[in-house]
Structure 1
Amino acid sequence: MSTQKEVRAHAGDVEGSEALRMDAEKAEQVVDALNADLADTYVLYHQLKKHHWNVEGAEFRDLHLFLGDAAENAEAFADELAERVQALGGVPHASGATLEAESSLEPEDEDVYDIRTSLENDLAMYGDVIESLREHVDLASNLGDHATAEMLRENLVEVEDDAHHVEHYLEDDTLVVGE
């Protein structure tokens, strides 16, 4: 077992990347944006998993599968964000407490709600994530970090697609007859 206790990188410090030709000042702006997206993405991920676990009713199977896939998409995106932060010489947010504190999103509480309410909450959260990603695409582009901008654009397409599916689930047309 290692007894090393030396801190190799402090949270919040950004060195920039000589290999990527990104100076510390520009890198810090991009890293801050990516860490914000990382925090938001993990909050979204946990809410989607909550709904995946708790969905029930006539449309259980489709919603259960969709919410599981959407959560996996968020988790994969979070991994890309964290790896890009590290590549830019930053330290990605990692602890649950930091991710929750740094997120701009307001997650549901621990209670279980009807699926329509849950999906409405997810859709609102997706909207906030989409707006933030669009802003951060522009920021990265304006700072000359086209690789980060492209990564965010590619994931924005997937985030928008998942949000669009949630919107469809919330439509009023259904084969399920209520009482």
Structure 2
Amino acid sequence: MSTHKHVRKSAGEVTGSEALRMDAERAEQVVDALNTDLAATYVLYHQLKKHHWNVEGAEFRDLHLFLGEAAGHAEAFADELAERAQALGGVPHASMTTLEAEAPIAPESEDVYDIRTSLENDMGIYGEIIETLREHIELADRLGDFATSELLRENIVTVEQDAHHIEHYLEDDTLVFEGAME
């Protein structure tokens, strides 16, 4: 095994892609947007997994399954974002330190909250991600990167569906008596 380290591309470096006919200047703007989305999506992923692991109560099974599926959606989207950033000649964020630092959203603390609070925190993150994705779709369109725009458009549908499901879980209609939740 070699003890020499050779950096092939530095973090933050964007070369563009000759094959995709994307110059470095336009690619850098798109890669920056994709890395922001990647960081936010990983924050969401880890928070959803936290809630998946810690959910309790009468709605445990449905919420446990939903949160696991939603985390899976986030993980798959993160992979697509990273692969697109790389295809455009960029370096996708990969370290936990960088992902958290570059995310436009903050995760909740390590504490375990009641499920309503947890889902409300998830809704906040989903809302921020949805707004950012819309901005990045417009950016990609303006720069003529229709493949990135399409990738974001396809995924925002799933992001919005998962947010909408959480919205339903937060409705006040429940089989659990209010006094039992205190």
Is the shorter-chain TM-score for this pair beyond 0.5, marking a shared fold? Answer: yes
In structure 2, stretches of 5+ residues that fail to align are: none
Corresponding residue for residue 115 of structure 2: 115
Corresponding residue for residue 7 of structure 1: 7
Q: Secondary structure at the match of 1:137?
A: helix
Q: Secondary structure at the match of 2:61?
A: helix
Q: Secondary structure at the match of 1:154?
A: helix
CA contact (8 A) 2:52 2:68 kept: yes
TM-score (norm 1): 0.98
User: 2:159 is matched by which residue type in structure 1?
Assistant: V
Distance in 1 of aligned mates of 2:120 and 2:178: 19
CA contact (8 A) 2:31 2:88 kept: yes
Distance in 1 of aligned mates of 2:178 and 2:142: 52
Corresponding residue for residue 138 of structure 1: 138
Distance in 2 of aligned mates of 1:4 and 1:87: 26
TM-score (norm 2): 0.97
Corresponding residue for residue 27 of structure 2: 27
Distance in 1 of aligned mates of 2:7 and 2:177: 60
1:29-108 alignment runs, 5 A limit = 29-108=29-108
User: 2:170 is matched by which residue type in structure 1?
Assistant: L
Number of residues paired by the alignment?
179
Q: Secondary structure at the match of 2:178?
A: coil
Distance in 2 of aligned mates of 1:15 and 1:84: 13
Q: How many Å apart are 1:17 and its aligned residue? A: 0.1
User: 2:66 is matched by which residue type in structure 1?
Assistant: F
CA-to-aligned-CA distance 1:92-119 (integer Å, 9 cap, x gap)? 0000000000001011000000000000
Distance in 1 of aligned mates of 2:71 and 2:44: 8
User: 2:133 is matched by which residue type in structure 1?
Assistant: L
Distance in 2 of aligned mates of 1:156 and 1:2: 43
In structure 1, stretches of 5+ residues that fail to align are: none
Distance in 1 of aligned mates of 2:148 and 2:139: 10
CA contact (8 A) 2:40 2:99 kept: yes
